[in-house]
Chains A and B, each alone.
Chain A
Amino acid sequence: MTWLSWRLFRAQGYVTLVVLACLALLAVATGPHLAQTYADSGIAGCTGGRCSDLSRSFLADAKTGLTGATYTIGALAMVGFPILAGVFWGAPLVARELETGTYRVAWTQSVPRTRWLLPRLGLALGAAAVAAGLASLALTWWANPLDAAQGGRLQPGVYLARGIVPVGYALLAVAVGALLGAVVRRTVPAMATTFAVVGGLMLTFSLWLRPHLVPPVHANVPLDLADLQTFSETNGGHMEVVANFAQKGALVLTNRTLTPQGALFVGPADPTQCDRRLPGQQCMDWVDSLGLRQDVTYQPASRFWDLQLVETGILVALAAVAVGLCVWWVRHRIT
């Protein structure tokens, strides 16, 4: 079965190798220059407020030209690869056999279905994991200066393209694709469902699940008005004041401004201090005098690997379930 699995996968395998090689070439061409620019920028040893200025100018500089293109292509490729692997490797694996009737050739040789399916699925899973792993390794190395300047890798677009989660998503996508292919039995609808399901899982994890995979950290600090996110006052005196969270690279879950008593601060604004006819700074000073607190729950940037490990574990477990279901379905439902 190893031979047949490889023979049927060969063309796709070669295409993937070529694409990987192109990406690697791009990374090698731009990587050393990027690392040098970072070293010269002085971000590594900076202190205080100078840091953000240095980072900003380094990032603005780095995200142009070929380096910028590599960054964008890398991010897209890493997010797109699991979906593509699910759609083009997973979904047709069983569906195409059923659709073209070749399953009647494959399953009437002297090899039971399970021993036909597992090598084929194993090869697709292995190839997807290796490709995703290598690409992620290369990109994680290449983007290291950029990630350092940005202070963290927890933003979804970055997080999904670094570390080991790409491997988890690639495995899950291929397994889900194969399962859907067996259930749907038609290649193109199976591909479309796989696209929707894998894309949906990525979104669900990024938007809702990831921040809660590890219990978030809670912080209650004096409100710092120097770096504001929102400062508004409506006619009724209702106020909304939210400051940015000072910790660099943190993934913020909730960010509220509380009164010293612990209630949510909503005003009312003091009409003698905050008025459109008075200078804005007067209102600001008044708010500053209230002793407001910033109440934040967040995942610190240092949690990157914890989150990656937990998420990848969940993805691999889900992939194993999908593989099990796929085997069961092929054995017991395609009859």
Chain B
Amino acid sequence: MTSALTARGLTKRYGRRTALAECTLEIPAGRVVALVGPNGAGKSTLLNLAAGLIRPTSGEIEVLGDTPACSPDQLARVGFVAQDAPTYAGLTVADHLELGRRLNPRWDHRLAERRIDDLALDPRQKAGRLSGGQRAQLALTLALAKRPELLLLDEPAASLDPLARRELLQGLMTHVVDHGASVVLSSHLVSDLERVCDHVVVLTGSHVQLAADLDEVTGTHYRLTGDARDLDELPPGAELVHSTGTDRHRTVVVRSALPVVGDRTQVEPLGMEDVVLAYMARAASPAPRPDSPAEAVR
């Protein structure tokens, strides 16, 4: 099975500014993938590269086994909802569906109309007069009715209120369950994604900190709290992710395939949000890490 997205040494520079440096990652197909990371980690750049809107300065990227936007067919296989869900302000909702119908060979007009109906959007309404949530839903409808094999969503929920956010993600999930498609959605709001995704990629400073299935993520990370001396030596097979605290008292997050049991330390398994935050904290901490050339550019 080909991966949804493969990047090797992917780099994008704008003049002197490096938006993405030497990024290497593989995103499996058939999953709902959360691409998480702090602002400026290169998530948007990566997704724009994947959508073929921009081209890499160096390195390679393949989407569904092909160069992004290399042909009308490749374009048809990938759906993209850009950050802030841009729409044509002067065009009505119905116009947007007509646009999708005329520009996409695999367009599912019934699906689009049903979604607009379900969302109670007025087809005659100009997109410029829709609320942020409605606009995001319209943009998502445009991408879904295209019936892509891979959906790329760049911060689809960032500017929405919690209710609109949940509705948007629910709509997305319903579609994925009904029609099946790989999804990559980026966000810095980790809590949103926990409910919808089954694979997570943590990207910081262009570097992949973690890429794993969700159940693997939540089943293998533990937080150990206790006396610093007891934590000098980690449990066998455990790998240090991040450590905070003083000389005496420490909190340590570890990754371990084996169950971790503590005798004098307190052990708790971690949920996705905490795991992601630990990896982000590791990347942000000044501690020297041999594998982080990207730190220098930020």
Interface residues of A (CB under 8 A from B): 1, 3-4, 7-8, 11, 100-105, 107-112, 115, 335
Contacts and interface: CB of A to CB of B under 8 A. Distances in A.
B72 A111 contact: yes
Interface in B75-107: 75-76, 78-80, 82, 84, 86-91, 95, 98-100, 102-106
Contacts of B88: 8, 102, 105
Given A101-B82, A108-B78, A4 B102 contact: yes
Interface string B48-87: 1001111100000000000001011101101110101011
B80 A108 contact: yes
B86 A101 contact: yes
Interface residues of B, number: 35
A105 B53 contact: no
Contact of A110 (B72, B89, B90, B139): B72
Interface of B: 48, 51-55, 69, 71-73, 75-76, 78-80, 82, 84, 86-91, 95, 98-100, 102-106, 139, 142, 146
Contacts of B103: 1, 4, 109-111
Nearest to B88: A102
A124 to B, nearest CB: 16
Nearest to A111: B103
A224 B191 CA distance: 95
Nearest to B99: A4
A44 B95 CA distance: 58
Given A4-B102, A101-B84, A105-B142, A112 B72 contact: yes
A103 B88 CA distance: 10
Contacts of A104: 48, 51, 53, 80, 82, 86
Contact of B105 (A4, A105, A110): A110
Contacts of B106: 110
A7 B86 CA distance: 17
Given A100-B86, A102-B87, A112-B75, A107 B99 contact: no
Contacts of A109: 75, 99-100, 103-104, 146
Contacts of A111: 72, 75, 103
- Most-contacted residue by chain A among B51, B71, B80, B86 (CB, 10 A): B86
A107 B76 contact: no
